[in-house]
């Protein structure tokens, strides 16, 4: 008998028919002689509508109350799935994150899991139940409801798999695996059979939202091997696991596109020591994460400093930098959301030179201008115009020979 953790995302539980489909799958897994723990997301669109609703009553909804609100999305799904299973004659019980023993810190809307005590989960499993747990949520030691950041049900599933020492962890979604690029943008992208934690982490962090980046980080830390697969068919999916030597033979594992980026530019900055420190301290104090930074020296002794942020932080960045601009005697600060980040990822890059050259040549060959560049050992990212993003992604995907047959 194996202990299997299955996570079903929003689309997979998006309507009553789909919830019944998931119930059939869970029942079949149970009937094959396994113990099953199921982690579910809110039905698709529910979290977004709850956020919208909150904004209609408060321009900047208080985060503690936001978590109380958002947690209802997943709570609806656990009850419906447990009912659907019982309707099929199965033994099943639902648990909220707190009831499942998921304890987090108090950072509302992006809490971190501190520990999991899955006592009730084991009791229910031992009495023959499928245990249906609400993803994306936990509670603080003081009993406040928290959520784990967008896409956080992935993290719940992987953390629970680690806590109950599951034999198998399956992430069911609306695609049958991790592809060499988002199949919605690049229809001839190819399914990847095996990918290392580091590559999956980079792809997720660089815009491939098939997995939440934090969940992959957690999986790597606790060595949770997991499979990404579809809830709509029985195709084998993608195994995400520790790096093997063979994996380095592939130069580029995949291409990621992130369209939710903005570029902030401070123009006419006097070229003196200490200015960059002032700018970035202001940004850090406002809890804004920055990504790529570029500084250009102009002929007349002033510089332009540009950096990228998530597009939801663009207006805030400009606001907090206005006083700094005055203070340091710069000309102006502006922001544009008309940019995208395009990245290639692969651990094979460490041992195969020439990846950057090929990427830049391909972009040049397609008349796509590169605004900024950033690299690490296993990825190269460029900032380009938003309007060029999909064309550029297709060209790079082709140039590295990633397309399927």
Choose among 211, 191, 193, 190: nearest CA to 202. Answer: 211
Q: In the range 176-195, which residues lie near ligand ASP by CB under 6 A? A: none
Would you give the binding string for ligand ASP spanning residues 69-88, x where CB under 6 A is met?
----x---------------
Would you give the binding string for ligand ASP spanning residues 133-152, x where CB under 6 A is met?
--xx-------------xxx
Nearer to ligand ASP, 42 or 200 (CB): 42
Nearer to ligand ASP, 34 or 76 (CB): 76
Q: 173 by DSSP, 3-state: which?
A: strand
Question: What is the Cα–Cα distance from 397 to 403, expressed in whole angstroms?
Answer: 7
Kindly list the distances between the CA atom of residue 43 and the CA atoms of 19, 32, 112, 233, in Å, as whole numbers in the listed order.
9, 27, 23, 19
Using rule CB under 6 A, residue 97 touches ligand ASP: no
Angle between helices 213-221 and 197-205 (to 10 degrees): 160
As measured in angstroms, the least distance from the Cβ of 219 to ligand ASP is 15
Long-range CB pairs of 213-222 (<8 Å, 24+ gap) are 214/148, 214/149, 214/152, 214/155, 215/151, 215/152, 215/154, 215/155, 215/157, 215/158, 216/240, 218/113, 218/155, 218/158, 218/159, 218/162, 219/158, 222/158, 222/162
Nearer to ligand ADP, 220 or 229 (CB): 229
Binds ligand ADP (CB under 6 A): choice among 137, 156, 173, 306: 173
Nearer to ligand ADP, 173 or 306 (CB): 173
Binder of residue 184, out of ligand ASP, ligand ADP, Mg ion, none (CB less than 5 to 8 A by kind): ligand ADP
Q: In the range 41-60, which residues lie near ligand ASP by CB under 6 A? A: 41-42, 47
As measured in angstroms, the least distance from the Cβ of 191 to ligand ADP is 8
Question: What is the Cα–Cα distance from 228 to 207, expressed in whole angstroms?
Answer: 17
Q: 166 by DSSP, 3-state: which?
A: coil
As measured in angstroms, the least distance from the Cβ of 162 to ligand ADP is 19
As measured in angstroms, the least distance from the Cβ of 404 to ligand ADP is 12
Instruction: Quickly tell me which residue has 């420190």 as its tokens.
Output: 277
Contact set with Mg ion (CB under 5 A): 9, 151
Contact set with ligand ASP (CB under 6 A): 9-10, 41-42, 47, 73, 135-136, 150-154
């Amino acid at each position: 008998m194996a202990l299997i953790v299955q996570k079903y995302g929003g689309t997979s539980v998006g309507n009553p028919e789909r919830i019944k489909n998931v119930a059939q799958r869970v029942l079949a897994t149970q009937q094959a002689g396994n113990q099953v723990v199921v982690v579910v997301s809110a039905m698709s669109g529910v979290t977004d509508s709850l956020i919208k609703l909150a904004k209609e009553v408060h321009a900047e909804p208080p985060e503690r109350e936001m978590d109380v609100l958002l947690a209802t999305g997943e709570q609806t799904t656990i009850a419906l799935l447990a009912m659907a299973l019982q309707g099929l004659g199965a033994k099943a019980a639902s648990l909220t994150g707190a009831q499942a023993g998921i304890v987090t810190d108090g950072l509302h809307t992006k809490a971190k899991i501190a520990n999991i005590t899955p006592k009730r989960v084991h009791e229910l499993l031992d009495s023959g139940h499928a245990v249906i747990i609400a993803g994306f949520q936990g509670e603080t030691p003081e009993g406040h409801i928290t959520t784990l950041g967008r896409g956080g049900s992935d993290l719940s599933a992987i953390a629970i798999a680690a806590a109950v020492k599951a034999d198998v962890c399956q992430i069911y979604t609306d695609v049958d695996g991790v592809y060499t690029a988002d199949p919605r943008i690049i229809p001839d992208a190819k399914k990847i059979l095996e990918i290392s934690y580091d590559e999956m982490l980079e792809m997720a962090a660089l815009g491939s939202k098939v997995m939440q980046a934090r969940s992959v980080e957690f999986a790597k830390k606790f060595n949770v091997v997991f499979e990404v697969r579809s809830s709509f068919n029985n195709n084998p999916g993608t195994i995400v696991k520790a790096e093997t030597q063979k994996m380095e033979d592939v130069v580029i594992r995949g291409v990621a596109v992130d369209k939710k980026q903005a570029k902030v530019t401070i123009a006419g900055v006097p070229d003196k020591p200490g200015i960059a420190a002032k700018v970035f301290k202001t940004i850090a104090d406002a809890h804004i994460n920055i990504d790529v930074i570029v500084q250009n020296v102009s002929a007349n002794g002033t510089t332009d400093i540009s950096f990228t942020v998530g597009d939801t932080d663009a207006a805030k960045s400009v606001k907090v930098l206005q006083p700094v601009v005055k203070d340091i005697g710069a000309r102006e600060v502006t922001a544009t959301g008309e940019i995208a980040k395009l990245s290639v990822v692969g651990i094979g890059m460490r041992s195969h030179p020439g990846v950057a050259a090929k990427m830049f040549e391909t972009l040049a060959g397609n008349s796509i201008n590169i605004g900024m560049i950033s690299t690490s050992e296993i990825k190269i990212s460029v900032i380009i115009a938003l309007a060029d993003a999909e064309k550029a992604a297709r060209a790079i995907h082709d140039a590295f020979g990633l397309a399927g047959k």
